[in-house]
A and B are shown apart, each in its own frame.
Chain A
Amino acid sequence: MENELKIDPKLVAEFFKFNKNMIEAPKMVPAPDEINLEMTPYDVAYSEDKIRLLHFNSPTQKQYQTPLVIVYALVNRYHILDIQPHKSWVRNLLNQGYDVYMIDWGTPSNIDKYLGFDDYVNGYIDNCVDFVCNEASVNKVSMQGYCTGGTLATVYAALHPNKIKNLIATAPVIDGKRDTTVVGNLAKHMDVDNMVETIGNMPPEFMYYVFSVLKPFEQGIEKYINFFRNIDDKNYVDSFLRVEKWLNDTPPVPGELFRQWIKGIYQDNLLIQNKMYVGGKLVSLKNITMPIFTQVAVGDHLVSPECSMPLHYAVGSEDKTLRIYPTGHVGMIASSFSQKNVLPELGEWLKERSNK
């Protein structure tokens, strides 16, 4: 009996419990398809081609006259900024008295393959800003851009500084050469001309592949193990399924925009060197002279802090703030941490710089 296998009975019990959870999961939780990601009610204030400008209905009295326009990223959809009531970026800002608009880029199809930076920045964003200014009877708006939306907002602010009162760049993609993430490495080795010429728009499946190599074991295995282990925890399950559904819903990126993005930001690194041209105009970050708040996350594995932070040093603004948070790319915008730390700080910063 000396060779008898010694296994902790608690381990066996845990194994059986895990199996039981897997079998019972479908009875206990909804399928991701059955979950509706729309949270805070909104009106579609303006639309053009496939984009929509969402105007969120505020539960409280508007306290500031300067509206905030959020430029969402080109990857995945805007729902992450309003993923759950107690983790909603949008709802938090509404509760602080801000008038919040957000651009939903919609789902580009083949007909949109020639849309580039010029169409997005000088077309869609500019038209949305004009609409908001007109509706709110103001000359300038505050603008926040998240991730790739941070880059678009930055380019917009550099080309149209007279329309932006405050700029908030949340994990913006700015200095591709300094980016230390896997995304940066893959982007630098892509024959992007060949890619766009052959397949047109960047298919969502390709994006999924790029995400899958970011944290393959934590994101590909561990989080699913944790999901089944916590199947009894309603809040955990709800949060998990919402984020999973959001992660697995990304629209294609217009081919021309993808080409300009990869070449201009990652391969030739033109934006940070003030050498990028959009719509025939040079994008100089020195033109950004309005107050700017740059938010980066230490644990960001999608856009590394080294890639975002150079914006803070490159702009012409005198009133500039840089905050580095001990969280990740999504944690910075949709978590309890963000509600307790990131948003109150942003609210305070914006309060001092918005018209009452």
Chain B
Amino acid sequence: MVAQSDYKKSVEYYKHLSLFWTDIVYLMASKPSALTSAGPMRKFAMQAKKLSTEMIEANEDLTEFNTRLAEYYKQLSDTWIEAQKRVNKKIPEIPQDMEHLEASKRVWIDMFENDFTQLFDSEKFGENFGKLISSELELSKHWNKMLSVLLETANIPTRNDMDEIYKELHSLRKRISKLEKNGHQTKVKNNGK
């Protein structure tokens, strides 16, 4: 627990240090460099601290991801060891000849299948799996945000910009489809009259 709190403290310190210097450098240099506002570098300089913040936070999430991944493989390996023990107990009872090859294979497959299905069906596996995916998603979010910074400096649409367009398109498609349907129904009604 002490090691973890020391680690958190040092991460916080470096986060603060990085933000402090990027802010100060930006304040000191922003006015004269405003001349370069047409090019990408000023935009990049304005956004640079976002990159360092994301990098530091991604590092924290990477720790969580590694913890969950280690737990995931631990669960797999523990289950493997237990299943193998059970197989080792059973196999010597089966003659090791061609006629019994299929039976030996069946024992191995069935015991492993059974133990692993029990694991995948368990609460502890489901919970760790959910957290593992969530931590992976957090890493993806940092990556997306960092990419957005770079895209913005080059005036290229970001993921958020594209999402807005997709949403608008979806709503337009829906409205058009509704209008077409209503138009068709009216036509059918009128023809029927």
Query: B113 at interface (Cβ–Cβ under 8 A)?
Result: yes
Cα(A189)–Cα(B134), bound, Å: 10
Q: A191-B133, A195-B133, A199-B140 are in contact. Are A186 and B126 (CB under 8 A)?
A: yes
Check A1 for interface membership: any CB of B closer than 8 A: no
Q: Establish whether residues A14 and B129, one from each chain, have CB atoms under 8 Å apart when the complex forms.
A: no
Whole-angstrom distance between the Cβ of B102 and the nearest chain A Cβ:
10
A8→B129 contact, CB < 8 A:
no
Q: Is the CB of B137 within 8 A of A199?
A: yes
Residue A323 interfacial (CB < 8 Å): no
Query: When A110-B166, A218-B109 are in contact, do A182 and B133 touch as well, CB less than 8 Å?
Result: no
**CA–CA, A333 and B98, complex, Å:** 35
Whether a CB of chain B sits under 8 angstroms from the CB of A119 is yes
- Contact check: which of A11, A191, A199, A221 meets B96 at CB < 8 Å? A11
Indicate which residue in B97, B133, B166 contacts A8 across the interface (CB closer than 8 Å): B97
Q: Point out the residue from A7, A111, A185 that lies within 8 Å of B121, measured CB to CB.
A: A185
From A56-64, A158-166, A209-217, A348-356, the one touching the partner chain is A209-217
Instruction: Tell me whether B38 is interfacial, beta carbon within 8 Å.
Output: no
Q: State whether A14 and B101 are in contact (beta carbons under 8 Å apart), knowing that A111-B166, A188-B126 are contacts in the complex.
A: yes
* Chain A nearest CB, measured from B111 CB (Å): 9
A198 touches B105 (CB 8 A): no
Tell whether A191 pairs with B170 under 8 Å between CB atoms, given A11-B97, A123-B177, A217-B116: no
Q: For A190, what are the chain B residues with a Cβ–Cβ distance below 8 Å?
A: 130, 133
Is A217 touching B112 in the complex (CB atoms < 8 A)?
yes
Cβ 8 A contact of A113, one of B112, B117, B127, B166: B166
Is A195 touching B109 in the complex (CB atoms < 8 A)?
no
CB of A241 within 8 A of chain B?
no
Q: Which residue of A lies closest to B125 (CB)?
A: A185
Contact with B along A170-211 (1 / 0, CB 8 A): 000000000010100110111100110011000000000000
Sort chain B's interface into a size bin.
35 or more
Decide: B144 and A123 in contact? CB cutoff 8 A. Answer: no
Inter-chain contact B96/A194, CB cutoff 8 Å? no
A222 within 8 A of B: yes
B residues 128-168 in Cβ contact with A at 8 Å: 129-130, 133-134, 137, 140-141, 144, 162-163, 166-167
Q: Is A182's CB under 8 angstroms from B134's CB?
A: no
Q: Which residues of B contact A127 (CB under 8 A)?
A: 177, 181
- Give Cα A114 to B173, complex, Å: 11
* Chain B stretch 21-48: residues in CB contact (< 8 A) with chain A: none
Decide: B173 and A49 in contact? CB cutoff 8 A. yes
Contact assessment for B166 and A189 in the assembled complex, using a CB-CB cutoff below 8 Å: no
**B129 near A189: Cβ-Cβ < 8 Å:** yes
Contact assessment for A11 and B162 in the assembled complex, using a CB-CB cutoff below 8 Å: no
Choice from B109, B122, B126 contacting A217 with Cβ under 8 Å: B109
Complex contact A222–B105 (CB within 8 A): yes
Within 8 A of B (CB), among A49-85: 49
Residues of B within 8 A of A113 (CB): 163, 166
Chain A neighbourhood of B113, CB < 8 A: 215-218
A314 adjacent to chain B (CB < 8 Å): no
Q: Are B134 and A8 closer than 8 Å at their CB atoms?
A: no
Q: Are A182 and B117 in contact (CB under 8 A)?
A: yes
Chain B residues with CB under 8 A of A111: 166, 169
Whole-angstrom CA separation of A199 from B140 in the bound complex: 8
Taking a contact as CB atoms under 8 Å apart, the answer to whether A11 and B98 are in contact is yes
Q: Tell me which of B96, B120, B122 contacts A7 (CB under 8 A).
A: B96
A115 at the interface (CB under 8 A from B): yes
| CB proximity of A73 to chain B, nearest CB, Å | 22
Residue of A nearest to B143 (CB): A198
A14 — which chain B residues lie within 8 A by C-beta? Answer: 98, 101
Q: Is B174 an interface residue (CB 8 A)?
A: yes
Name, among A198, A213, A215, A216, the residue most crowded by chain B CB atoms within 10 Å (CB to CB): A198
26 inter-chain pairs at a CB distance below 8 angstroms, sorted by A residue, are A6-B96, A7-B96, A10-B97, A11-B97, A14-B98, A49-B173, A110-B166, A111-B169, A114-B166, A127-B177, A182-B121, A185-B126, A186-B120, A186-B126, A188-B126, A189-B129, A189-B130, A194-B134, A195-B133, A198-B137, A198-B140, A199-B140, A216-B116, A217-B112, A218-B109, A225-B105
Apart from A114-B166, A189-B127, A194-B134, what 11 extra A-B contacts exist at CB < 8 Å? A6-B96, A10-B98, A113-B166, A115-B170, A185-B121, A185-B126, A217-B109, A217-B113, A218-B109, A221-B109, A222-B109
